[in-house]
Chain A
């Protein structure tokens, strides 16, 4: 007679070193093999969407900061261009350029955290701190410009809260000069390390069709070999003026769409962001940033959906206006939330250690998942 066996249920989180916040994963295990993963979310729910209905349009912006708190600039970016579209505001050239510069710097900063914490998940502590050291330089530039390091409230409907600091352009150029060799160093230290490759290659393979079926976006989708970037495919702001490539997963070390590809796409994207930055800094026009600021923000009755390429994927804002000062409804399509949904598919049959590697490669931010 066979003995009765049952799966071991392990609660990973909400307080766990590598759940990137307060995510709880209910993992069914057979020995160390993962049978099923059930993410439980909502520990960080702050009713952003409901709150937004009681706020005026500019008051919503600080709340958007707090969704994906590692990419606040980009959250502002998406929201303000959605409202501008609704109101039909044309912003000055300089504002557009500054927004792109800030957005791309934010993308680099966000990827730095993603890559650093990914190393941390796999046990490599040192690359994490090197990347944070470099991220600090970006944050200092942001602080210089708008006074805050993490939650900026920098982009306003029709403009910006402050013009660039006089030193900003010089510092940004210096940063690019400084950071390029550091990417090489990161690659030597972590990306091409044999242990790291063994841990990530062939792990958590996400085929392109599954990715599309789940609505995965951002670096995760591109790692699966799909050339899809909203900056090119559904261009907004002035991204069509810049020359940059979209890195896609090639399966250099394993299969297309494995954890290593997801990691490496982010490394390559930092390089592309720096290319955009260089062009934008060269072309940056002079001018007044406040000329298009509306006296009061009262969009006409209507709806708008605006999506932007957040560092983590497609960030969409759906806004219904009833013609009053407050939005009638704000719905956010968060990339981390959608990307997390595939975790069960990815980690089935892998070990616990791989589950952590897969979760890290998705690069989630709980602030945005729970909203």
Chain B
């Protein structure tokens, strides 16, 4: 019987205590803000959308290798010896044309692992966090500063250069082979030379 009245009393009293607390809170200023109109100031270390400063990028591919979700895709083409790509802000010489630097921000997990290995500090996280898009393709950010034509041209240049080099090499090999043939012809009388010796040296040079 005592328990019965105690229960009744506790039931009413604790409800009353709770109501007193919530009533006090009616007059506490609100802690929420009107988001799109008012925004919370972000701290300086905030990790949001990735940005790449292409002026400084040397195309070393370290960020792409650090990424755990493989959202960075980099393709590079070697520059011509006569081309000068300039220097990065911390004095590194650029030697590669970065023809493709894509970040699929939809895949990005904002872990910041790509930021630390960058030797020129050109990839970093900004404080932009409102970048929703209607199409998934629009979330694929292309940072490469080269236009499609330029890219093709660079590739062509490089291929041409490569081809020229190859041709040069081939010519050298040919010359060598000819020289070897001459030498062979001169030493025709000695029959102990075998085929393998002839074919091996050029192969090594090629590689």
Binding site for B on A (CB under 8 A): 55, 58-63, 65-66, 126, 130, 133, 136, 143-148, 151, 153, 161-162, 165, 185, 188-190, 192-195
Contacts and interface: CB of A to CB of B under 8 A. Distances in A.
Nearest to A144: B43
Contacts of A151: 109-111
Given A126-B25, A188-B18, A194-B15, 13 more contacts: A58-B66, A58-B113, A59-B113, A143-B42, A144-B43, A147-B125, A153-B113, A161-B116, A162-B45, A165-B45, A193-B15, A194-B7, A195-B14
Q: Which of A59, A144, A161, A194 has the most CB of B within 10 A?
A: A194
Nearest to A154: B112
B75 interface: no
Contact of A147 (B22, B46, B116): B46
Nearest to A146: B45
B155 interface: no
A165 B43 contact: yes
B66 A147 contact: no
B11 A194 contact: yes
B183 interface: no
Interface string B1-24: 000000100110111011001100
A188 B21 contact: yes
A147 B42 CA distance: 9
B148 interface: no
A188 to B, nearest CB: 5
Contact of A126 (B13, B22, B46): B22
Contacts of A145: 45
B68 A63 contact: yes
B47 interface: yes
Contacts of A161: 112, 116
12 contacts: A60-B68, A62-B109, A126-B25, A143-B42, A146-B45, A147-B47, A151-B109, A161-B112, A165-B43, A188-B18, A189-B18, A190-B18
Contacts of A55: 68
Interface string B119-131: 0000001000000
Q: Which of B45, B46, B66 has the most CB of A within 10 A?
A: B45
Contacts of A62: 68, 109, 111, 113
Contacts of B112: 147-148, 153, 161
Interface in B41-57: 42-43, 45-47
A148 B47 contact: yes
Secondary structure dominating the interface of A: helix
B31 interface: yes
B19 to A, nearest CB: 10
Contacts of B116: 161
A133 B15 CA distance: 23
Nearest to A61: B111
Contacts of A126: 22, 25
A59 B47 contact: no
Contacts of A143: 42-43, 45-46
8 nearest interchain CB pairs? Answer: A147-B47, A62-B111, A59-B68, A147-B45, A144-B43, A194-B11, A153-B111, A194-B14
A126 B14 CA distance: 15
Contacts of A61: 111
A149 to B, nearest CB: 9
A146 to B, nearest CB: 7
A62 B17 CA distance: 44
A48 B46 CA distance: 26
Interface string B73-116: 00000000000000000000000000000000000011111001
A148 B11 CA distance: 44
A319 to B, nearest CB: 17
A190 B43 CA distance: 34
